[in-house]
Amino acid sequence: MSSQASKDHPEGQKPPLLVDDHTVATVRDSRILVLMRGLPGSGKTTLAKDIEKKYKDSCRLISADVHDIKPVARGASGGEYAKLDDELSTCFEKREANLVILDDTHHDRERLDKLFDMANAYHFSVVILEPKTPWRLDCAQLKDRNHWKLSLEELKNLRPTLEKDFLPLYFGWFLAKRDEDCLRKTSHEFLEQLGNLKAFKKRLQAYGCEDKQKLDLLKYFGKSPNILHCTAKFCDYGKVLGSEEYAQQEAVKKAYSRGYTLHISALFATPRTVGAQVELTADQLLIWPPDAEKEVMPKDILPRGSRAHITLGTATDVQDVQTGIDLLEFVKLQQSGREGESLGELTGTVAGKVSYYDNGMWLLNLSRKIEVRSIFSGYYGKPGVQVPLRGKKGLLNQCQIM
């Protein structure tokens, strides 16, 4: 980086994926689409090239400038993006890089929606980065800095679309691809072992089966999130009250695009969902909303962070949000002094004691917590994108366990 570029992007203003070692290691094992966003001349390209240099062995930088796409107030329907989108699609399809950087202004919502759809289709998480240069919104300075020679009036027309933060459907921790594959395999083994327990086979009524019938839990929980994650704050693109205030919190800003290790202490299954209980650390609780538990159980007093979970699968017509509600039902029972009926142990990757809480509620307290690496970011695409639960083929054979 040149001395001038270093002044433009001071060390303290660089995103974690450039300066934090744990984040860098996590990003290398993830699939991430980085969308540079900002006015022409604000420093996007400098930042994009810094990231490309950092991850040169596993990164691909695609630039709108290279395709001669002028940054003016435009929509996504024009043909100017055809070649760029072909390059992006080919990169995704051929898995040419785990980290893909797209350098453009990204001021148009229609255009962004198309990119979010592409990322979801190829199971890429999205990180939106904006340069922190002092002049990033100063049109007078940008007039002399942008190589497109855009006029002051053209820049002022673009500025309103880029002044406000772009809020996601929800913020959360998105699992690194390697760890996601491992956890999906762990979920598969949990459901297989649980389904084969004699105690489980005797209590099938809650799952719509008669005693002694065989229930394939993998088929029963036939849906799984496109990318495994632990939701922190549901925003509905800013429509939820308090979303903008949450996004503006200093702790949230510092956390964005940073790598975190999540600790899974238990797996659970109900007639509606199968999930993983996440124990948040003190650092992670800093970005956990104080009202997260009250949102779904307003009449109960529950420990902060007790709703933290990863949805592994849901039954037909059940929404992902139900997983957190099911987890809180376990928490409430435990708060009341009920530990559940001990009904056996599982072995292998999912070793631990199995407890039954009536109404088809099963909890596996793991003998050793499972660690999964993640990136804190936002989900910006359409809600409800899911994939079928996968079997063992093609998944990793080892988990990282504490």
Render pLDDT for 288-306 as a digit per residue (tens, 0 to 9). Answer: 999 999 999 999 999 999 9
Q: Is residue 253 part of a domain?
A: no
Strand partners, 370: 264, 401
Q: Is residue 240 part of a domain?
A: no
* pLDDT surpasses 70 at 7: no
Strand partners, 371: 263
Burial 165-198 (b: 16+ CB within 10 A, else e): ebbbbbbbbbbbbbbbbbbbbbbbbbbbbbbebe
Residues 373, 259: Cα–Cα separation, whole Å = 7
Are residues 155 and 184 located together in one domain of the fold? no
Are residues 312 and 377 located together in one domain of the fold? yes
- In the predicted model, what is the mean pLDDT of residues 332-339? 93
The amino acid at residue 87 is: E
Are residues 73 and 36 located together in one domain of the fold? yes
* pLDDT surpasses 50 at 45: yes
Q: What is the mean pLDDT of the chain?
A: 90
Residue 349: predicted pLDDT: 86
Question: Which of these three, 163, 194, 219, is where a domain ends?
Answer: 163
Instruction: State the catalytic residues.
Output: 229, 309
Confidence of residue 386 (pLDDT cuts 50, 70, 90): low
What is the DSSP secondary-structure string of 86-151?
A: HHHHHHHHTT--SEEEEES----HHHHHHHHHHHHHTT-EEEEE----TTTT-HHHHHHH-TT---
Are residues 44 and 93 located together in one domain of the fold? yes
Return the CATH number at 334. 3.90.1740.10
Match 């496109």 to its residue by tokens. Answer: 226
What percent of the chain lies above the pLDDT cut of 90?
Answer: 83
Structural tokens at position 361: 């509620």
Are residues 150 and 224 located together in one domain of the fold? no
Are residues 153 and 176 located together in one domain of the fold? no
Render pLDDT for 47-84 as a digit per residue (tens, 0 to 9). Answer: 999 999 999 989 999 999 999 998 875 554 557 899 99
Confidence of residue 107 (pLDDT cuts 50, 70, 90): very high
Residue 382: predicted pLDDT: 87
Return the CATH number at 150. 3.40.50.300
Q: Is residue 397 part of a domain?
A: no
Confidence of residue 10 (pLDDT cuts 50, 70, 90): low
Confidence of residue 135 (pLDDT cuts 50, 70, 90): very high
Structurally, how many domains does the chain consist of? 2
Are residues 158 and 177 located together in one domain of the fold? no
- In the predicted model, what is the mean pLDDT of residues 312-331? 97
Phi and psi torsions of 126, nearest 5°: -120, 135
Of 232 and 391, more confident: 232
CA atoms within 13 A on the CB side of 392: 6
Q: Is residue 305 part of a domain?
A: yes
Q: Is residue 179 part of a domain?
A: yes
Question: Which of these three, 114, 136, 163, is where a domain ends?
Answer: 163
* pLDDT surpasses 80 at 2: no
Question: Which of these three, 142, 163, 184, is where a domain ends?
Answer: 163
Residues 200, 204: Cα–Cα separation, whole Å = 7
Residue 80: predicted pLDDT: 87
* pLDDT surpasses 80 at 156: yes
Are residues 158 and 201 located together in one domain of the fold? no
Phi and psi torsions of 280, nearest 5°: -80, 140
What percent of the chain lies above the pLDDT cut of 70?
Answer: 90
Q: Is residue 254 part of a domain?
A: no
Q: Is residue 317 part of a domain?
A: yes
Are residues 345 and 277 located together in one domain of the fold? yes
The answer to whether the Cα torsion of 111, 375, 315, 328 is positive or negative is negative
Are residues 103 and 213 located together in one domain of the fold? no
* pLDDT surpasses 90 at 234: yes
Are residues 351 and 227 located together in one domain of the fold? yes
- In the predicted model, what is the mean pLDDT of residues 8-24? 83
Residue 220: predicted pLDDT: 95
Of 385 and 358, more confident: 358
Q: Residue 257: how many CB atoms within 10 A of its CB?
A: 21
Q: Residue 164: how many CB atoms within 10 A of its CB?
A: 9
* pLDDT surpasses 50 at 401: no
Q: Is residue 394 part of a domain?
A: no
Domain boundaries, position 224: 172-235+260-387
Residue 197: predicted pLDDT: 93
Render pLDDT for 190-216 as a digit per residue (tens, 0 to 9). Answer: 999 999 999 999 999 999 887 666 899
Residue 378: predicted pLDDT: 98
* pLDDT surpasses 60 at 9: no
Are residues 61 and 84 located together in one domain of the fold? yes
Residue 79: predicted pLDDT: 78
